[in-house]
């Protein structure tokens, strides 16, 4: 037990670098996928509902009548957010929806966001060798994670909806996270990792001065 404790205590720097590698893998992988149609379509609910990002889209705030009940039978004939009528499930291609996303600026924005996310991952990774770059990368990771976590407040899709059925829905709305919500919540770990990486890099930087 003593050897294990000593190993853990003496390996702090290695573990911090492991955090950097892990952040890079997540950022590079997810950022790289932003060039794919399904991933670009998938982030639309987050972006269009965000007060920090909605201006990047051309159709944010626009509404339309759900004539066919696409968003649920309860909404049939009602006015809904326009993006909800143009969702492409992962693995499905609907030409009309893709044309809407092109007009919305969905794909252009996704390419830019993906490049930025990859850059943050790279800066964080470079903190292994450059503390100055590491501070920047760690703080950017923290900042991006805070923006992502704000989706828990602004995006309706992060909570389980009440779609009805032949019996009552007992668990919907806050705090019942949907698949999207559970994915977003994990960014609290990324925010902590970014601060740890930035803190360790700052300590090295101060030792040099």
Whether 139 shows a pLDDT value over 80: the answer reads: yes
Q: What is the pLDDT of residues 91-128, one digit of tens each?
A: 888 899 999 999 999 999 999 999 999 999 999 999 99
CA distance 11 to 15: 6
Residue 163 has pLDDT above 80, yes or no: no
pLDDT of residue 117: 98
Angle of helix 187-208 relative to helix 12-33, nearest 10 degrees, comes to 130
Does residue 140 carry a pLDDT above 90?
yes
User: In this predicted structure, what is the pLDDT of residue 77?
Assistant: 85
Asked if 141 and 120 touch (Cβ cutoff 8 Å), the reply is: yes
Handedness of CA 19, 21, 23, 29 (dihedral sign): negative
**DSSP secondary structure letter of residue 173:** S
pLDDT at residue 26, as a whole number: 97
Res 177 pLDDT > 80: yes
**Signed CA dihedral, 65, 49, 111, 35: sign only:** negative
pLDDT digits (tens, 9 = 90+) for 5-25: 888 888 888 999 999 999 999
Q: What is the mean pLDDT of residues 176-187?
A: 94
Percent of the chain with pLDDT over 90: 74
Distance between CA atoms of 178 and 195, rounded to whole angstroms?
Answer: 27
What's the mean pLDDT in 37-55? 95
**Side-chain-facing half-sphere of 117: CA atoms under 13 Å:** 23
Across 150-157, average pLDDT: 95
Portion of the chain with pLDDT greater than 70, in percent: 100
Largest Cα span, the chain:
69
| Mean pLDDT of all residues in 146-174 | 89
pTM of the model: 0.91
User: In Å, what is the CA distance from 16 to each residue of 91, 119, 124, 198, 200?
Assistant: 37, 19, 11, 10, 8
Helix (H), strand (E) at residue 201: helix 187-208
**185-202 average pLDDT score:** 97
Could you tell me if 139 and 198 are in contact, meaning their C-beta atoms sit under 8 angstroms apart? yes
Counted residue by residue, the chain has a size of 209
Q: DSSP letter string over 14-45?
A: HHHHHHHHHHHHHHHHHHHHTTSHHHHHHTHH
Q: Look over the chain and give the mean of its residue pLDDT values, rounded to a whole number.
A: 93
């Amino acid at each position: 037990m003593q050897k294990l404790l000593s190993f853990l205590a003496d390996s702090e720097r290695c573990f911090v670098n492991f955090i950097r590698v892990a952040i890079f893998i997540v950022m590079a992988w997810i950022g790289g996928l932003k060039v794919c149609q399904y991933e670009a379509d998938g982030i639309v609910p987050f972006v269009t509902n965000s007060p920090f990002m909605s201006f990047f889209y051309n159709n944010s705030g626009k509404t339309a009548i759900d004539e066919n009940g696409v968003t649920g039978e309860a909404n049939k004939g009602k006015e809904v957010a326009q993006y909800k009528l143009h969702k492409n499930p992962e693995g499905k291609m609907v030409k009309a929806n893709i044309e809407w996303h092109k007009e919305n600026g969905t794909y252009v924005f996704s390419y830019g966001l993906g490049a930025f996310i990859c850059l943050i991952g790279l800066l964080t990774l470079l903190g292994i060798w450059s503390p100055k770059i590491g501070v920047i990368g760690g703080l950017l990771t923290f900042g991006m994670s805070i923006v992502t976590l704000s989706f828990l407040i602004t995006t309706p899709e992060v909570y389980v909806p009440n779609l009805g059925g032949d019996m009552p829905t007992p668990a919907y709305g806050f705090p019942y996270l949907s698949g999207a919500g559970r994915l977003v919540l994990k960014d609290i770990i990324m925010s902590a990792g970014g601060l740890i990486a930035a803190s360790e890099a700052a300590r090295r930087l101060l030792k040099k001065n």
